[in-house]
Amino acid sequence: MRHILLSIIATLGLLNCALAQETKWYDPMEGDVCYIDCRIDHPEVRKNYHRIAESIQPQLRDAVWSLSKNSAGLTIRFYCNAPTITIKYKLENGTNMHNMAPMGSSGVDLYSLDSKGHERWCAAPSGIVIRRGDESRYIYRDLVYNDSNKEGHLYELYLPLYNTVSSLKIGIPEGYALRFVEPDKQKPIIVYGTSIAQGASASRPGLAWTAILKREFDRPVINLGFSGNGRLEAPVVDYICQVDAAIYILDCIPNMCGMLNTIAPRITEAVEKIRKVSSSPIIITEHCGTLHAEASPKSDEAHVLGNKECRKAYEQLKKQGVKGLYYLSKEDIGLSMDASIDGWHPNDVGMFEYAEAYKKVIKKALK
């Protein structure tokens, strides 16, 4: 009996080896080109999944630097014709967040586009996110292709919103093809914001409002949302000024209501710095408000004051003759009662409402 068991174990081992050999793995970090999209290009970030270059670290508060290593908003594009696509990756942090499911904070998300421009979302029911240091896997099975393009469909993989990726590979069966696509060279939309911009509390990465806008406008959206730490600080403003963006979005009021006297000066300073390098539109955004304010009016008092300071700064800049400024108010955002998970952070309903509000003002600005 023992000999039979040993034989079965050995056979299973050989089978596992054979199956492993049938999968070909592709690393977007290998080679001379870095295929990570939707971030400010810098030589120091081409071999990691961070959002800000390491040389900027001494200028940042520790909390901002730590959050900048989260891969929020980053994507990888590739052509593939395989019926099965496996994503395996490792994370540096745990997945325990009180207001986000593991798939949103630490999972990946895959969309595809065929040659006719028809977009599809790809589900991975067997997707698993494991604790830090271990390997996480998402497996997309039974994928079909409805056109004659030999390369298959154009896929876009959205990376975790609230975790740091240390390594990632994409696997497909032998006999099929995968080709990475270089980062999009169009002028991006740059978002400097808070936890809401970073992605709290979308159920998966592709449903963050920045990701929704990326698909809507088919151009890079650079997510510089820092949970609890989006405060219009000079080092981050200087960093975004390295790029002549299509649009700059300043959405930091939710993290500045406890520091009212800094709101107007920092908005003014940020706008003035951007205007020195670009004439592109700038959107200044209010706090969306607390969705339980009717039940608990006190919860919204600080945000009302913060929005007043935000409006004051915007009006003053307009009086000074600054061109290309746009304003998104709490009323413009208009989150519905059930659009939040905890009163502050949008759920998926809220993310679509947020994106819809931005969509209107961006279309106006881009004209």
Q: Does residue 110 surpass a pLDDT of 50?
A: yes
| Model pLDDT for residues 3-24, shown as the tens digit of each residue | 444 444 443 443 344 444 599 9
Q: How far apart are the first and last CA of the chain?
A: 77
Domains and CATH numbers, the chain: 26-180 (2.60.120.260), 189-366 (3.40.50.1110)
Q: Give the residue, 302 or 211, on which the prediction is more confident.
A: 211
Residue 250 has pLDDT above 80, yes or no: yes
DSSP assignment letter at 325: E
pLDDT in the model for residue 96: 76
Give me the torsion for CA of 334, 205, 185, 270, rounded to 10°.
50
Sign, Cα dihedral of 271, 273, 274, 276:
positive
What pLDDT is recorded for position 125?
Answer: 83
pLDDT of residue 131: 65
Q: What is the pLDDT of residue 132?
A: 66
Higher confidence at residue 97 or residue 1?
97
pLDDT at 130: 67
pLDDT at 11: 38
For 258, the token pair is 């406890």
pLDDT at 16: 46
DSSP helix/strand/coil, 362: helix
Number of Cβ within 10 Å of residue 179's Cβ equals 14
- Strand 153-158 to 135-140 pairing: unpaired
What number is the average pLDDT over the span 297-301?
A: 80
157 has pLDDT over 50:
yes
pLDDT tens-digit readout, 338-366: 999 998 899 999 999 999 999 999 999 99
pLDDT at residue 201 greater than cutoff 80: yes
CA 226 to chain centre: 11
If we measure between CA atoms, which residue out of 331, 288, 284 comes closest to residue 312?
284
Taking residues 37-60, report their average pLDDT.
Answer: 96
Q: What is the value of pTM for the model shown?
A: 0.92
Of all residues in the chain, the percent with pLDDT exceeding 90 is 82
Q: What is the mean pLDDT of residues 25-49?
A: 95
Does position 80 have pLDDT exceeding 90, yes or no?
yes
In the chain, which ranges are E strands? Answer: 23-26, 36-37, 75-80, 85-91, 109-113, 119-122, 135-140, 153-158, 165-173, 178-180, 189-193, 221-225, 247-251, 282-285, 325-328
Asked if residue 223 lies in contact with residue 210, where contact means CB atoms within 8 angstroms, the answer is: yes
